[in-house]
Amino acid sequence: MKALNRKLLRDLWHLRGQVLAIVAVIMGGVATLVMSLSTYDSLVETRERFYAEYRFAEVFAYLERAPEPVAERLRAIPGVERLETRVVAGARLEVAGFDDPITGRILSLPDVGEAGLNRLHMKRGRRVAPYSSDEVVLSDTFAEAHGLGPGDRIAAIISGKRRSLQVVGVAVSPEYIYQIAPGAMFPDFKRYGVLWMGRTALAAAHDMDGAFNNLTLSLARDAREQAVIDRLDQQLARYGGTGAYGRADQFSNRFLSEELKQLQTTATIFPAIFLGVAAFMLNVVISRLIALQREQVAILKAFGYSHLAIGWHFVKLVLVVVVLGVAAGSALGAWFGQGLASVYQETTFRFPYLHYRLELSVVLIALGVSALAAVSGSLVSVARAARLAPATGMQAEMPAVYRATLLERLGLQRWFGAPTRMILRHIERRPLKSLLTVFGIACAGGLMMVGNYQKDAIDFMVDVQFRQAAREDLAVTFIDPTSGRALHELQALPGVEYVEGFRDVPVVLRHRNHEYRASVYGIEPAGRLHRSLDRSLAPVRVPPEGVVLTDHLASNILHIQPGELLTLEVLEGRRQVLQVPVLGITRQFLGVSAYMQREALNRLLHEGNVVSGAYLAIEPGREAAVYAALHARPRVLSMVANVSAIQSFYATIGEFVLFYNLVATLLAGSIGFGVVYNSARIALSERGRELASLRVLGFTRGEIAYILLGELALLALAAIPVGMLVGVGLIGILVQAFENDLYRLPLILTSANYALGATLIAASTLISALFIWRRLGRLDLVAVLKTRE
């Protein structure tokens, strides 16, 4: 080994504390990048494969009823590759030993053979036997939630008739990777289930013999999706079609896409922030570290080494550190990524399998960014050192030039003793360096806040949604719109405290060239249970004529102002096209909707006192009785209980948030510690001689620690408010980035979160200070007398 390389290894060993701290910084940045991007890549890849393998359809349509021969005409539409008709039925399900209401959705399977589209991935058991009358396959989430499997029986109320069904298999479908009950806000695997049944059996139960009410199709290679949808809508109009839609509007796929988009944003923004901060700190730390090697540079020059050779020597030193950091970060990131991907798979993306994929390019990006930051930082310092003639470089550096600080020039100096002046002057002499250090520490604190923000946001959204807006205990939906008299029956049920009817109608909302599929909810104008909230989240009265829109829907999707006219294209019944003024804006974080007074909506639709369902308040403790009474009513299609929805939401999301917070905390912590420790450690190297001199003169360890750690504490103290600002800024970026029609993140800044950011900074500083304190005890006092700088 060449002598210079040997020196390299020795230097690395000698600097091991700082090397480790820098590795920690790089590791934090790289791990976030690798974790996020590899998770994203894996999920996208898995989804594509699963969709392709299981022939996920491309266009979907619901209708009231069409005779089977109609399908032949539809298949003739240009661009249709394969079209399959189905019967789909809403149902209520009963599982022995579970009293809460369960909403079910039953889809037909061909009586013989496998479906051509939306094929099932069988996880357990077998497919439905040909022409069987009572066999069903369950979706895996529902089966798992209830511990059901082949051999078990469940009951379903289809079209008001109760049937006993035999479970023969458990499956995953590309159509229902993300499952959520109609009207629900969150997935609830226990209270919502998708089932598959033989076509003949389901048609018989749902009164669809020789007919279909749902179709899915795949497109020919060059087909234009919109053209096919338009033709389909034309032909299905007379069969009660509610409008065909593509994958982009297919619920499960749309949600997965939004989640993936969010993940992609996370995978871009977070690592950019983390790696950016890490790279920046790396640059600062390395340049200061190399600046301390001034004398060595001079000696090497005196030996006759060229600038290039010397530069390369230090670049190698830095690259070793970078490679260590990137390797550790990649390993950690891959490990976290697999964990994150499987948490996703358990909670959101219910793919039957997962292809974990770590692209080499991701690691190369990490390596490139880190190396660039580090090498540029080191070259600046090496170049500065190399510019000196060897003799000058080896001589004592002239005492650094200081001056009285601004504070002192303002006449405050009599308040400061010599040690305090040393601190202030040292900070003020290199203001940029001090600022960079403050900013670096602040970034770690800001990152910590971002990591913790998610939980606060979810808590807040749940609170607004369920304690301010949708305050009902139970939402009941009827099979068909029903006379308002049904509300009196519900009100009369024992245990029901209060009932509010609602009417919801599927519509296309149009304004100029903007359109959006949604439901208009007719609610009570000053409802006690279901309320519309204004911008400050106070309940507002829905105006008598006209419609109130969710803020996001009005300003970002339809681009409409209060006072302007909105076109409603009703997708059921007589399919009217109506003009309604927008009279208000309501704030909502989950989903988007349009609200009207129920009476006004009834009037617009030329119907009498009609409701689609009802919101119920139930006396505490009487839930089971109310559920049982509702189960007995054939007209009840589904029931969604809020409390259980929230609980199941937290049960599933909790794990994810916990995991995410843990990772963010670890990474922000490692960056924070790396930055603070390095700043302190370098300050010690720069000022070790000064401090040792003071020790010789009789200063105690505490007194010199005050000078060094006092500066660190002052910088850290300054970093706390800056860190809070950084955190607020980063959270603001997130809020902007995650605005979509499924949800908007509220800009929530809890004092606990501020405290967490501050705590991270304080804790990193304290731990670093302890390390430095130990080192101050080992200062070589004797050497100071003999050596010059």
Partner 1 sequence: MNQSNAARPVFTARGLTKTYHMGEVEVQALRGVDLELHAGELIVLLGPSGSGKSTLLNILGGLDVPTGGRVWYLDHELSGADESELTRFRREHVGFVFQFYNLIPSLTARENVAAVTEIASAPMTPEAALELVGLGSRLDHFPAQLSGGEQQRVAIARAVAKNPAVLLCDEPTGALDSTTGVRVLEVLEQVNRELGTLTVLITHNAGIAAMADRVIRLSDGTIAEIRANADKTPARELSW
Distance in Å, CB of 363 to partner 1, minimum: 42
Distance CA 170, CA 132 (A): 17
Residue 9 engages partner 1 in binding (rule: CB under 8 A):
no
Q: How far is the CB of 668 from partner 1 (least distance, A)?
A: 33
Output phi, psi for 96, to 5 deg.
-55, 130
Stretch of residues binding partner 1 (CB under 8 A), selected from 65-73, 136-144, 251-259, 777-785: 777-785
Contacting partner 1 (CB under 8 A), which of 1, 414, 698, 751? 698
Q: Could you tell me the smallest distance in angstroms from the CB atom of residue 421 to partner 1? A: 6
Out of 699, 737, 763, 775, which residue is the one contacting partner 1 (CB under 8 A)?
699
Nearest to partner 1 of 406, 658 (CB atom) = 406
C-beta of 3 vs 782, nearer to partner 1: 782
Stretch in the footprint of partner 1 (CB under 8 A) among 62-70, 160-168, 592-600, 781-789? 781-789
Nearest residue to 705 (alpha-carbon basis) of 722, 678, 683: 683
CB nearer partner 1, residue 82 or residue 689: 689
Q: Count interface residues toward partner 1 (CB under 8 A).
A: 36
Are the CB atoms for 479 and 207 separated by under 8 Å? no
Angle, nearest 10°, between helix axes 251-291 and 431-463?
A: 160
Taking the complex as a whole, the smallest distance from the CB of residue 383 to partner 1 amounts, in Å, to 24
Q: Report in angstroms how near the CB of residue 696 gets to partner 1 at its nearest.
A: 5
- Minimum distance, C-beta of residue 703 to partner 1, in the bound complex (Å): 7
One-character DSSP codes across 474-513: EEEEEEEEEETHHHHHHHHSTTEEEEEEEEEEEEEEEETT
392 part of the interface to partner 1, by CB under 8 A: no
664-681 burial, b for 16+ CB within 10 Å, e for fewer? bbbbbbbbbbbbbbbbbb
* In the complex, least distance from residue 765 CB atom to partner 1, rounded to whole angstroms: 22
Specify the stretch interacting with partner 1 by CB under 8 A; choose among 105-113, 183-191, 335-343, 699-707. Answer: 699-707
Q: Does the protein bind partner 1 through residue 696 (CB under 8 A)?
A: yes
Angle at the Cα of 314 from the Cα atoms of 309 and 317, rounded to 5 degrees: 130
**Can you list the positions of beta strands (E) in 24-132?**
59-67, 80-86, 88-95, 98-109, 121-125
Smallest distance from the beta carbon of 707 to partner 1, in angstroms?
9
Q: Which residue has the tokens 């020795």?
A: 10
CA 770 → CA 694, 765, 775, distances in Å? 20, 9, 9
Distance in Å, CB of 406 to partner 1, minimum: 14
Q: Binding of partner 1 at residue 785 (CB under 8 A)?
A: yes
Closer CB to partner 1, 414 or 485, in the complex: 414
Residue 784 binds to partner 1 (criterion: CB under 8 A): yes
- Selected range binding partner 1 among 140-148, 230-238, 396-404, 670-678, rule: CB under 8 A: 396-404
Stretch that binds partner 1, among 583-591, 619-627, 659-667, 694-702 (CB under 8 A): 694-702
Q: Does 710 bind partner 1 (CB under 8 A)?
A: no
14 contributes a contact to partner 1 by CB under 8 A: no
Q: What's the min distance (Å) between Cβ of 686 and partner 1?
A: 11
Rounded to whole angstroms, the Cα distance separating 240 from 226 reads 19
DSSP 504-540: EEEEEEEETTEEEEEEEEEE-TT-SSB-EE-TTS-EE
Tokens of 576: 């009217």
H/E stretch holding 3: helix 3-14
Which residue, 83 or 707, has its beta carbon nearer to partner 1?
707
Contacting partner 1 (CB under 8 A), which of 131, 335, 353, 402? Answer: 402
Q: If you ran DSSP here, which 8-state letter would residue 312 be given? A: H
Q: 484, 611 in Cβ contact below 8 A? A: yes
787 is a site residue for partner 1 (CB under 8 A): yes
404-423: which residues touch partner 1 (CB under 8 A)? 404, 417-419, 421-422
Binding mask 637-676 for partner 1 (x = CB under 8 A): ----------------------------------------
List own/partner pairs for 774-779 with CB under 8 A and 24 or more apart.
775/681, 775/684, 776/684, 776/691, 776/701, 776/704, 776/705, 776/708, 777/701, 779/688, 779/691, 779/692, 779/695
Query: At CA 181, angle to CA 175 and CA 183, rounded to 5?
Result: 125
Burial of 432 (0-12, 13-18, 19+ CB in 10 A): exposed
96 residue type, one letter = A
Which of 411, 431, 697, 778 touches partner 1 by CB under 8 A? 697
Classify residue 97 as exposed, middle or buried by CB count within 10 Å of its CB (0-12, 13-18, 19+): exposed
The 523-562 site mask, x for binding partner 1 (CB under 8 A), equals: ----------------------------------------
Q: How far is the CB of 15 from partner 1 (least distance, A)?
A: 21
Indicate which single residue of 548, 694, 731, 779 sits in contact with partner 1 (rule: CB under 8 A).
Answer: 694
3-state secondary structure of 339: helix
Residue 556's Cβ-side half-sphere holds a number of Cα atoms within 13 Å equal to 13
789 forms part of the interface with partner 1 (CB under 8 A)? yes
Token pair 């996208």 is found at 44
Q: Is 10 in the site for partner 1 (CB under 8 A)?
A: no
Identify which of residues 306 and 700 has a Cβ nearer to partner 1 in the complex: 700
CB of 701 to partner 1, least distance (A): 8
Maximum C-alpha span of the chain? 103
Token pair recorded at residue 649: 């939401």
Could you tell me the smallest distance in angstroms from the CB atom of residue 457 to partner 1?
Answer: 46
Choose the stretch contacting partner 1; rule: CB under 8 A; options: 61-69, 666-674, 689-697, 732-740: 689-697
CB of 789 to partner 1, least distance (A): 8
Dihedral-angle region of residue 119 (phi above 0 means left; psi in -120 to 50 means alpha; beta otherwise): beta
Q: Is residue 294 a contact point for partner 1 (CB under 8 A)?
A: no
Q: How far is the CB of 420 from partner 1 (least distance, A)?
A: 11
Q: Of 303 and 402, which has the nearer Cβ to partner 1?
A: 402
User: Helix and strand tally (H, E) in the chain?
Assistant: 22, 22
Q: Which two tokens stand for residue 111?
A: 């009586």
Pick the binder of partner 1 from 52, 700, 739, 770 (CB under 8 A): 700
CB of 411 to partner 1, least distance (A): 15
Instruction: Select the span of 211-219, 313-321, 371-379, 686-694 touching partner 1 (CB under 8 A).
Output: 686-694
Using CB under 8 A, pick the residue from 3, 308, 398, 432 that binds partner 1.
398
DSSP string, 197-247: EEHHHHHHHTT-TTEEEEEEEEE-TT--HHHHHHHHHHHHGGGT----EEG
Residues 429-448 binding partner 1 (CB under 8 A) are: 429
Indicate the residue among 176 and 706 with the shorter CB distance to partner 1.
706
Q: Please check whether residue 710 is in contact with residue 727, taking contact to mean a CB–CB distance below 8 angstroms.
A: no
Q: How many CA atoms lie within 13 A of 610 on its CB side?
A: 19
The one among 308, 396, 410, 432 contacting partner 1 by CB under 8 A? 396
Reference 99, options 629, 473, 490; nearest CA is 629
Q: According to CB under 8 A, which one of 693, 721, 742, 759 is a site residue for partner 1? A: 693
Distances (CA, A) of 769 to 289, 326, 772, 774: 19, 27, 5, 9
The residues that touch partner 1, with contacts defined as CB under 8 A, are 396, 398-404, 417-419, 421-422, 425-426, 429, 689-690, 693-701, 703, 781-782, 784-789
